[in-house]
Amino acid sequence: MKMANPETNSHPFYQSVRQNVTRLNQCLCIGLDPDPKKLPSGYSQTVAGVEAFLNDIISITKHHCVAYKPNISFFEALGLDGLHVLERVMKRIPSHVPTVLDAKRGDIGNTSAMQARYIFDYFGASATTVHPYMGGDSVLPFIEHRDRYTFILALTSNVGARDIEKLALADGRPLYSAVVDQCLTWHSIAQNVGLVVGATQDEMAKIRKQTPDQLFLIPGVGAQGGDYHAVKTVGQNQDGLALINMSRGILYASPTKSDMESKILQIINAL
């Protein structure tokens, strides 16, 4: 694996990812998407059970992953108590492991500013995800938090990506390609913009060629069918960095609490 050049991007999030990838020699980002109905036996299917489960997941994996990606919707679905769980979970994650709070925000400027404050200032997330559909004034309030990172949805891992993201523009380019070009412009402001590129998409290599340097957040490995090793080869930037996310494949590796740790570490050690 090509090691990162620490001078390529001095942003603290980027440097934290670089240090963890170098230390672990892998690019695993663990998604925290708790579904009470899917908890291993031994945990109650309650908000308290979710918190106990996530605390154990962090204890098992905190020395084995590059970053965590909590998905805010799974906590919102549990109501205010769920958001309090998210708040406590974020504080349990060690400071050397950055957090991407997956929120997929992006609204008119003043609304985006409030969303960015909620994610970055209240929850203390290192990074978040934003959709680009409404343009620069909806994205810039996130980028203006210059000590944080913003991942823009470019080409996502879901089947519906073909409905809009792959539409051909008048010049023949797919829409996602124009998004990538725009992200390069946004990235030039504070060196804090990455791209969400789905592991299930064959176009990842084209996007990587279009932007050799930007950091990719790559969902879709595991339960959605993406292969970790394949996307690592294609998705790493020139510094050898990527955030390859696994959620269900890690969280629900075992149906029982008793052997959860051994099953999870077996998966991670195979990466």
Q: What is the pLDDT of residues 152-203, one digit of tens each?
A: 999 999 999 999 999 999 999 999 999 999 999 999 999 999 999 999 889 9
| Token pair belonging to 63 | 């020395």
Q: Is the pLDDT of residue 4 over 60?
A: no
Looking at the chain, the whole-number percentage of residues with pLDDT higher than 70 is 97
Give the full edge-to-edge strand order of the sheet including 243-246. 67-70, 28-32, 243-246, 216-218, 193-197, 149-155, 127-130, 100-105
For the chain, the C-alpha Rg in angstroms (whole number) is 18
- Please compute the mean of the pLDDT values over residues 79-97 and round it to a whole number: 98
Q: Which of 253, 185, 243 is nearest to 218 (CA)?
A: 243
CA distance 71 to 105: 12
Question: pLDDT value at position 224?
Answer: 75
**Tokens representing 6?**
């620490």
Mean pLDDT of 73-86: 98
Lowest mean pLDDT among 51-60, 107-116, 148-157, 225-234: 225-234
Look at residue 102 and tell me whether its pLDDT is greater than 70. yes
Q: Which of 93, 169, 155, 154 is nearest to 124 (CA)?
A: 93
Nearest to 71 by CA among 129, 116, 122: 129
Active site residues: 104
Task: Determine the CATH number of domain 12-269.
Answer: 3.20.20.70
12-27 pLDDT, tens digit per residue, is: 999 999 999 999 999 9
What pLDDT shows up at residue 166? 96
Average pLDDT of the residues of the chain: 95
In the predicted model, is pLDDT for residue 61 greater than 80?
yes
Instruction: Give the whole-angstrom CA distance, residue 50 versus residue 33.
Output: 10
* CA separation for the pair 213, 71 (Å, rounded): 26
Which residue, 186, 184, 226, 176, is CA-closest to 206?
176
Residue 5 has pLDDT above 60, yes or no: no
Give the C-alpha separation, 87 to 85, whole Å.
5
225 phi/psi in degrees, rounded to 5:
105, -10
Domain ranges of the chain: 12-269
